[in-house]
Amino acid sequence: MHVMDRVRQFIHQHDLVRPDTRVVAAVSGGSDSTALAYILRELDAAGELRLAGLAHFNHQLRESAANDERCAADIAEAIGVPLFVERENVAARARRERRSIEDAGRTARHVFYDGARQHFSAETVALGHTRDDQAETVLLRLIRGAGPRGLAAMYPRKHHIIRPLLGVKRDELRAWLGERRITFVEDETNADVSIPRNRVRAELLPLLMERFNPSIVDTLADEADLAREIWEWMTAAAAEYQGSEGSEGSETNPSNLPNLPNGVEELDVEMLMAAPTALRRLIVWEAMRRTARGRPVGLGHVEAALRLMETGGSIDAPAHRVERVGDRLVLTGRAPGTKGRFELLGKLSNLGNPANRANLFRYPLSIPGEARLPEAGWIVSAERAVGGAMVGNGPIGQAAPGVAIVRGDLCRGPLSVRNRRPGDRFTPVGLDGRKKLQDFFVDRKVARRDRDAVPIVVDAADRIVWVAGHGIDEAFRVTDPAQAVVIFKVRRV
């Protein structure tokens, strides 16, 4: 099948764009993004979408970065669309924010994508990820360990980002460009095998192709599609099972989850026993995760809860208790500050490490208002603002050093400022999944001695909203400039 036909089929299959959809193409100058720009231009000419412009982000990491920018400008001129460019010294940002260059670059790019979309008044930003990129992502997730949710890898659409080339392989795109004598640039950093993705691309995939399966790229990409379908089916089936109990949920509270701090959930044991094992685990995990209010729930906790169906009794899990009461599993949330056996075991396992003996603190934060943190030497403030609030030059997210702007509609409950706790996780902007706060601090190169003093703003469910000075959670990212927002600031006492 011709490249254009495959792209059309993929776009139609996943309903990525319509004829009136305004699309921005992110262009680096490499083969994949160059092909993306020309393919979208052909689709625009055919009336299948509206190519609003190209967007190029100059990371200023390589001597050839200026040449990449010129290449992007040449592409924009050749296809007759405007170009939006931003430049940032990502290495300096990484040092300033004490994070890895890869992490800093990913975060900077996603902020840039939002800015480009708003600049062109577009609905979506198209990225040039290919079937090869998908295969590499699956291998990386396998190496790190992942279930269906992780192995689903890159989605054709996520929020305002679309990936219309996920159904095409890189060599097919390069052949398509060669037929049209369209040039592109080679990123010399792709040869740096100290970067895990490059090592997978340069060493692991060729080995698998030569020694095990010549079609490994297609096989892995197909596995990602299957994992995504399995995960979507499992979550839909789990919601259907929970909804079959006759609870009166609502659009904002579909599981009839109590809104009180010490909410209670009940699961019908007979219903769980009738469900397939994988679905049973998912239903219990989802219920425990909701009741735990942001605290991490592992497979061990889920298995312990499931054993109660046979043995009876009760267990302590993160921020809640699970017990067998008649024909029900009852999950009861605990008030903040109380701890159960699983949490205490985690605490006891850390007592031998002097770095974990820092004083814990937690202070309420009203809006508007401020919280003084004498143990850490910080003051954290919060204030509401109307849509379009600007701080420095940034309208969203980590707007400036020591400042963050988040969605106001999600900050209605009582907020608190605390330091880190064992097991803390959140989803940094730009990542596909949750990340341990410990790993986040390592990526950001936050010194071990400083980690317990970093202020963390959490909501009423103890979900991390802002790791002060470092980043917000994806769920609280402002996606509409008209949204009401909350502005957080941190300063020294």
Buried b (16+ CB within 10 A) or exposed e, 471-491: bbbbebbbeeeebbbbbbbbe
| Overall fold of domain 3-227 | Rossmann fold (3.40.50)
Bond before 368 cis per omega within 30 degrees = yes
> Residue 242: what pLDDT?
62
Q: What is the DSSP string of 31-52?
A: HHHHHHHHHHHHHHHTTS-EEE
- Residue 486 — very low, low, confident or very high, per pLDDT cuts 50/70/90? very high
CA separation for the pair 192, 95 (Å, rounded): 20
> Residue 134: what pLDDT?
96
Is the pLDDT at 441 greater than 70? The verdict is yes
- Residues 61-88 have pLDDT tens digits of 887 888 999 999 999 999 999 999 999 8
Is the pLDDT at 60 greater than 70? The verdict is yes
Q: Which amino acid, 450?
A: D
Enumerate the β-bridge partners of residue 25: 54, 126
Q: Which residue has the tokens 């735990």?
A: 292
- Residues 226-245 have pLDDT tens digits of 999 888 888 888 777 766 44
> Residue 54: what pLDDT?
97
- Both tokens of 204, joined, read 């692991």
User: What is the average pLDDT value for the chain, to the nearest integer?
Assistant: 83
- Alpha carbon distances (Å) from 297 to 107, 292, 363, 425: 27, 8, 25, 11
CA separation for the pair 134, 80 (Å, rounded): 30
Say if strands 403-407 and 415-418 run parallel, antiparallel, or are unpaired. unpaired
Q: Which amino acid, 143?
A: I
- Residues 249-292 have pLDDT tens digits of 333 333 333 333 346 788 888 888 888 888 898 889 888 888 88
> Residue 173: what pLDDT?
96
**pTM of the prediction?**
0.58
Residue 115, helix vs strand vs coil: helix
Report whether 291 contacts 261 (CB < 8 A).
no
Report whether 205 contacts 135 (CB < 8 A).
yes
Report whether 378 contacts 491 (CB < 8 A).
yes
Instruction: Identify the CA nearest to 120 among candidates 61, 40, 177, 59.
Output: 40
- Number of Cβ within 10 Å of residue 222's Cβ equals 15
- Nearest 5 degrees, angle CA 405-CA 294-CA 155? 70
- Both tokens of 190, joined, read 């792709």
> Residue 400: what pLDDT?
66
Is the pLDDT at 50 greater than 80? The verdict is yes
Say which CATH class 355-492 falls into. alpha beta
Report whether 284 contacts 290 (CB < 8 A).
no
- Residues 84-113 have pLDDT tens digits of 999 988 888 888 887 778 888 888 898 999
> Residue 313: what pLDDT?
83
Cα Rg for the chain, rounded, in angstroms?
24
Q: Which residue has the tokens 């992942």?
A: 146
Residue ranges, comma separated, of all CATH 3.50.40.10 domains in the chain are: 355-492
Is the pLDDT at 46 greater than 60? The verdict is yes
Say if strands 464-467 and 471-472 run parallel, antiparallel, or are unpaired. antiparallel
> Residue 262: what pLDDT?
42
- DSSP annotation of 391: B
| Overall fold of domain 264-333 | 3.30.465
- Residues 97-156 have pLDDT tens digits of 877 788 888 888 989 999 999 999 999 999 999 999 999 999 998 887 777 777 889 999
Q: What is the DSSP string of 164-183?
A: TTTTS-HHHHHHHHHHTT--
CA separation for the pair 168, 5 (Å, rounded): 10
Q: Which residue has the tokens 């625009």?
A: 44
- Residues 358-372 have pLDDT tens digits of 467 888 898 888 998
- Residue 382 — very low, low, confident or very high, per pLDDT cuts 50/70/90? very high
- Residues 311-323 have pLDDT tens digits of 888 888 888 889 8
- For the segment 214-236, the average pLDDT, to the nearest whole number, is 90
105 Cβ contact list (under 8 Å, min separation 6): 59, 61, 90, 94
**Cβ neighbourhood burial of 167 (10 Å; 0-12, 13-18, 19+):** buried
